[in-house]
Structure 1
Amino acid sequence: MSIQNANYLDATIEPMLRGARIHIQRGPMRSCVVCCVIVFFLSPCAVAQVSETSGSVPEDLEIRAAVGLLDARLGHELRERRVAGMSVAVVYDQEVIWMKGYGFEDVENKVPATPKTVYRVASITKLFTATMLMQLRDAGRIQLDDPVTKYVPELRLTSRYEGLPPITLLQLATHTSGFPREAPMDYWRTLKFPTIEKMTEALTVDGERIFPPYKEWKYSNVGYGVLGLALSRAVGVPYFSYVQTNILKPLEMNNSGFTPPTSLAIGYFLPEPGEQPKPAYQPDYGGYGPATSLYSTAEDMARFISLQFRDGPPGGQQILRGSTLREMHSAHWVRPDWKGGQGIGFAIRRVGPFTAIGHGGGIQGFRTDISLIPSLKLGVAVFTNTNCDPNKLTDLALSILGPVIENAQERSVPQPPAAPAQWKRYVGVYAMAYGSKVCIRLRRNRLELIPAEDGIPEVVKLNPEGEHRFRMKGGSVSGEILRFEVDSDGSVNHLWMGQYPADREDDVVSTQKEEVKRQ
């Protein structure tokens, strides 16, 4: 962030802090990449609010200002959008750096919303079904390309397209199977939802496969219901029991589950200006359990967000290995305009300069959203108990916090020590066998490889790893070794960029020899 932007944020927050109740806690962060101070305050004109912090976040003034600005903006949005209550959690890597409740979970009795308020998270449930899918795949119980009829043989869909291949588990998880959005039944009118077996029966009698696979992205609630049925049959355990035991419990999401708690927030329809919000009827969603039936809190969901940033082997709270998480975050379908796509469970989109993943949820009286920027290890959960659009609020949070987190990460990288004098002998232009030329340069005490003409499209940083050996970072050669060959007289005339040789082409060899003699 520029000095001008930082000053703007400080100037914006300073007037709001005067007379406000401020709560600051400091301490060492487990992942010492981002340093920040979190400032919590209750605006005199705001509705009831509750804020919490993990208490282990060091100081960074830009993040302090950014969080204060986000706090003010969210309070404003709550009033402008006439939202009854809202709970927010902001996660950096394995830390919950900020949580806060706004408004009320129960308007009539003036019960304030907090990070522990329980909401129906609706379609965020699909991420947990996708997690179950990948756990079973990693355990060898299923394959992603298994036809769903392997586990649900009674399912049959007609189609106006001939010769379609079977629908796979992966296609259901990525909304690319052409499955209809809903079963051909009237449950959205009656709000009486049948079992998934009854929905499957209705699909077989009167259901249509709308598109061939991968022709179009088509969101499907009933598709995730069928996916949950297939997975529960594959493992021989009811869906709710499996998720509770293998996902929620290891992550210590102790206030989450599939049984309505007595402390559930009241969901409201969006009121007209000047009117009080009206409670929304809460049905049992029956066969849509794997698509929409999870209850959770912002505090609990922060633990699921932190999981997405871990990269260890499976075990304990690492319920999926890092490579599997990255597989889920990666695009398995891309929009024709390249503005977004679909991972396994996760939707993918751009938020400013960043690639974000996440999922939203919406049912009567509840709207929820979680959004993450994996490259920054930054995530946000926004849960509301009013019909509204929380995705705009998570985007707001990411757009405010993303740039300052990125800047804080850059500031935290230690400056390299002075480059060894011997590195100067590597500097020069090298010609590769197929005609391209590369230049080795010394910049800010680091060696870099850049295209001398064309070929390598970007700067490749060289990180020392042994004598005359450097690990390359950037471009198609990223992660491989660049090795300089040193002649008996100490000069450097050749290098190997991975398996590609290159010969020095500039006229500095004689100068190198003189420098070597002087050393």
Structure 2
Amino acid sequence: MRLSRAALAFVLATTSTVPAFAETPEDALASRFRAASAWLDANLAKESVPGAAIGVVHDQDLIWSHQFGVESYATQNPVTDDTLFSICSVSKLFNGVAAMNLVEEGQLDLDAPLTRYDASMALPDKLGSEEPVTTRGILSHVAGLPREGTLDYWADNSFPDVAGLRETVSSQEQLYKPYDHWQYSNLGMAMLGDVVSRISGKSWGDYVDQTIFTPLGMTVSVTDMPFDRVGNGFAQGYYIRTAKGERQPVEQHSFRAFAPAAGVASSIHDMAKFASWNFRLLDQGGEEILKATTLKNMQRVHWVGADFEEPAWGLAYATRRYSEKTMWGHGGYCPGARTELVMRLPTKVAAVMMVSANDVSPGAMVKTVYSLTEEAIDKVHGKAAIEAKKAAKTIKTAKAEGAESKVDLSAYEGSYHVANYDWDLYVGLNEDGLFALPIFTDDPVGDLETWVHEKGDTFWRKRKDDTLAEAITFERDAAGKVTALVQHSYRSTKR
């Protein structure tokens, strides 16, 4: 006999502690990651992205990664977790760590005039500023410096060498008094990079490599663009699409004196190691490259707008808000590439994504993947994991006792589409049913649906208030394989 929606709701409510058709938390997490892969592939293909890579880190482990596309159209070599991408302004995190290493050693004063270390880094100040440009001001982007130099080197990638940097500094003027306004400044980061080089007696790249990359085992990361490896380990960057949908490759270039602002190339494997270092040092304390207290100081907010509007900035570290949660990291946007790194410090979860096109934002994609998987990650890897493992024994017993009515939820998992419409869905496994992730909506996680089982191949959509809505029926072929689903009378075919 078919249950009414009211009766089914009562049964679900009274048996919710022992789900009738439960999967393990590990199964549910794996399914969420498969959904993330399908969602990413569909959207990256829709945007004609040449290549992309994403990774999710929990504490000391890269727990999931996904690759899309090729390193270049010329070689057609597939993107891997070791493919180098230009990470653009995420490079500023390494510039910040390098500077703070010198601060710890007593060679650089966080609040001393930058000109104490390099007199050529002095901008004319007609504003009568009460304090000078300092390392602290530069790292939190409140030094009052212009955003860029005097030339539009981002247009033709004609980035200046150190002599050119000093020339552009001397021909600029203070934009604001320090701390009057927040102004993101690539120029300031380039100036600080030159100071790091002068104090250390090494090139900025060598100092970062020896002080950060080598100790962390970031074996493939470099401090300038390795164009000699394009398509063979380094992802070729591509400009925005033309009206015909074509992309032109970014010309070979070097960031030169602006490498401290945007010049690092790195991989998913290496950036995972950097994220793990953050979690490890904050958790264990002590000293590794930096003292834990120094890293905490870098990540606390040193500047926020008067009404607490964005941006909120630490020392090199930026913050993001995912609803009520704070994320730490940095984004990057430069010729032919974009990158996003976010870390949720309390739960030790990080996500990093790199794309080889500059008209597709990885920030929104990272937020979607994080939101889709956050709860499931916690159940497997976080504090809730112990309780989940205990509950798994009960679930296993319940499955055994109800073996005669057990449903293989995995049979329903996969991508579904409606011909001629962008109504694609990915159906995946919850611990006690299914979820349906829309592929092409503006808020896929917010629009995610939960489907609970009734009997056979029939499920009900559960509203956010836990009441039940319409039925969803799956179809099978003669061999018993799931081939389609019907919802609202719309038929979606399984790919």
TM over 0.5: yes
Q: Deviations over 1:422-479 (max 9, x none)?
A: xxxxxxxxxxxxxxxxxxxxxxxxxxxxxxxxxxxxxxxxxxxxxxxxxxxxxxxxxx
Matches within 5 A, 1:134-213: 134-204=100-170, 206-213=171-178
Among 317, 325, 336, the alignment partner of 1:365 is 336
CA distance in 1, matches of 2:305, 2:372: 26
SS in 1 for 2:375: helix
CA distance in 2, matches of 1:313, 1:410: 20
Paired position in structure 1 for 2:279: 309
- CA shift, 1:160, in A, is 4.5
RMSD (CA atoms): 2.6
CA distance in 1, matches of 2:259, 2:120: 20
Tell me whether 1:267 sits opposite 2:237 in the alignment: yes
Q: Deviations over 1:366-397 (max 9, x none)?
A: 11111111111111110111112111112112
- CA shift, 1:237, in A, is 2.1
Q: What is the number of equivalent residue pairs in this alignment?
A: 361
Stretch of structure 1 that moved more, 404-413 or 237-246:
404-413
Matches within 5 A, 1:277-316: 277-311=247-281, 312=284
Q: Deviations over 1:406-429 (max 9, x none)?
A: 4553423569xxxxxxxxxxxxxx
Aligned AA (1:72): A
CA distance in 2, matches of 1:273, 1:406: 44
- CA shift, 1:77, in A, is 1.9
Paired position in structure 1 for 2:180: 215
Paired position in structure 2 for 1:345: 316
Among 46, 49, 68, the alignment partner of 1:83 is 49
CA contact (8 A) 2:154 2:335 kept: no
Among 304, 328, 331, the alignment partner of 2:301 is 331
Q: Deviations over 1:318-344 (max 9, x none)?
A: 322322222111101113342440011
CA distance in 2, matches of 1:186, 1:219: 16
- CA shift, 1:345, in A, is 0.9
Aligned AA (2:201): G
Q: Determine which structure has the larger helix proportion and give its number.
A: 2
- CA shift, 1:189, in A, is 4.6
Paired position in structure 2 for 1:439: none
Matches within 5 A, 1:398-409: 398-408=370-380, 409=382
CA distance in 2, matches of 1:400, 1:78: 17
Matches within 5 A, 1:342-491: 342-387=313-358, 388-408=360-380, 409-412=382-385
Question: RCO higher in 1 or 2 (8 Å CA, sep ≥ 6)?
Answer: 2
Counting aligned pairs with the same residue, the percent is 29
Paired position in structure 2 for 1:128: 94
CA contact (8 A) 2:113 2:132 kept: yes
CA distance in 1, matches of 2:189, 2:29: 39
Q: Deviations over 1:63-114 (max 9, x none)?
A: 2232222222211221222211101111000010011211111223322111
- CA shift, 1:215, in A, is 1.6
CA distance in 2, matches of 1:179, 1:343: 17
Paired position in structure 1 for 2:79: 113
Q: Deviations over 1:9-62 (max 9, x none)?
A: xxxxxxxxxxxxxxxxxxxxxxxxxxx99xxxxxxxxxxxxxxxxxxxxx6233
- CA shift, 1:226, in A, is 0.4
Aligned AA (1:383): M
SS in 2 for 1:175: coil
Stretches of structure 2 that go unaligned for 5 or more consecutive residues are 1-11, 17-22, 389-495
Rate the CA distance shift 1:198–1:280 in 2: closer, same or farther, 3 A.
Answer: closer
CA contact (8 A) 2:129 2:177 kept: no
The normalised TM-score by structure 1 is 0.65
Rate the CA distance shift 1:249–1:167 in 2: closer, same or farther, 3 A.
Answer: same
Rate the CA distance shift 1:394–1:147 in 2: closer, same or farther, 3 A.
Answer: same
Q: Deviations over 1:303-361 (max 9, x none)?
A: 0111110133556xx32232222211110111334244001111112112210011111
Stretch of structure 1 that moved more, 178-187 or 129-138:
178-187
CA distance in 1, matches of 2:294, 2:152: 38
Tell me whether 1:248 sits opposite 2:213 in the alignment: yes
Tell me whether 1:227 sits opposite 2:227 in the alignment: no
Paired position in structure 2 for 1:97: 63
Stretches of structure 1 that go unaligned for 5 or more consecutive residues are 8-35, 38-58, 416-519
- CA shift, 1:117, in A, is 1.0
- CA shift, 1:115, in A, is 1.1
CA contact (8 A) 1:155 1:201 kept: no
CA contact (8 A) 2:121 2:191 kept: no
Aligned AA (2:363): N
CA distance in 2, matches of 1:191, 1:277: 17
CA contact (8 A) 2:114 2:135 kept: yes
Aligned AA (2:305): R
CA distance in 1, matches of 2:378, 2:255: 41
CA distance in 2, matches of 1:191, 1:300: 26
Moved over 6 A (4+): none
Aligned AA (2:79): A
CA distance in 1, matches of 2:371, 2:384: 19
SS in 1 for 2:315: coil
CA distance in 2, matches of 1:244, 1:156: 28
CA distance in 2, matches of 1:251, 1:414: 33
Paired position in structure 1 for 2:430: none
Rate the CA distance shift 1:355–1:265 in 2: closer, same or farther, 3 A.
Answer: same
Paired position in structure 2 for 1:456: none
Stretch of structure 1 that moved more, 103-112 or 238-247:
103-112
CA contact (8 A) 1:90 1:99 kept: yes
- CA shift, 1:273, in A, is 7.2
CA distance in 2, matches of 1:367, 1:190: 17
CA contact (8 A) 1:99 1:299 kept: no
SS in 1 for 2:70: strand
Rate the CA distance shift 1:230–1:379 in 2: closer, same or farther, 3 A.
Answer: same
SS in 2 for 1:383: strand
The normalised TM-score by structure 2 is 0.68
Rate the CA distance shift 1:270–1:187 in 2: closer, same or farther, 3 A.
Answer: closer
SS in 1 for 2:120: coil
SS in 2 for 1:362: strand
